[in-house]
Copies of this chain bind each other. A is one copy, B any other.
Amino acid sequence: MNSYSHSTRLLVAIDCIIFGFDGEELKLLLIKRRFEPEKGKWSLMGGFVNEKEDLEVGAERILHELTGLHDIYVEQLQTFGKVNRDPVERTLSVVFFALINIHDHNAESVEVHNACWISLKQMPALIFDHEKMVQMALERLRYKAALHPIGFELLPEQFTIPQLQKLYEAIYDLKLDRRNFSRKILSTGLLLDTGEKNANSATKKAVMYRLDKERYESKFNHFWYFMPVTT
Contact, CB under 8 Å: A54 / B81: yes
Partner of A52, one of B2, B9, B83: B83
Contact, CB under 8 Å: B81 / A55: yes
Contact, CB under 8 Å: A79 / B82: no
User: In the complex, which residues of chain B have a beta carbon less than 8 angstroms from the beta carbon of A9?
Assistant: 9-12
Closest 4 CB pairs of A and B: A9-B9, A55-B81, A7-B48, A79-B79
Bound-complex Cα distance A197 to B202 (A)? 68
Query: Residues on A close to B: CB < 8 A?
Result: 1-4, 7-12, 35-37, 48-56, 76, 78-79, 81-83, 88-92, 94, 146, 222-225, 229, 231
Tell me how far the C-beta of A80 lies from the nearest C-beta in chain B, rounded to whole angstroms: 8
User: In the complex, which residues of chain B have a beta carbon less than 8 angstroms from the beta carbon of A229?
Assistant: 223, 225
> Which of chain B's residues has its CB closest to A86's CB?
B4
User: In the complex, which residues of chain B have a beta carbon less than 8 angstroms from the beta carbon of A3?
Assistant: 35-37, 88
Contact, CB under 8 Å: B94 / A51: no
Apart from A4-B88, A51-B90: 4 A-B pairs, beta carbons within 8 A: A1-B37, A2-B89, A79-B79, A224-B231
Contact, CB under 8 Å: A10 / B8: no
User: In the complex, which residues of chain B have a beta carbon less than 8 angstroms from the beta carbon of A90?
Assistant: 51-52
Contact, CB under 8 Å: A11 / B4: yes
User: In the complex, which residues of chain B have a beta carbon less than 8 angstroms from the beta carbon of A146?
Assistant: 223
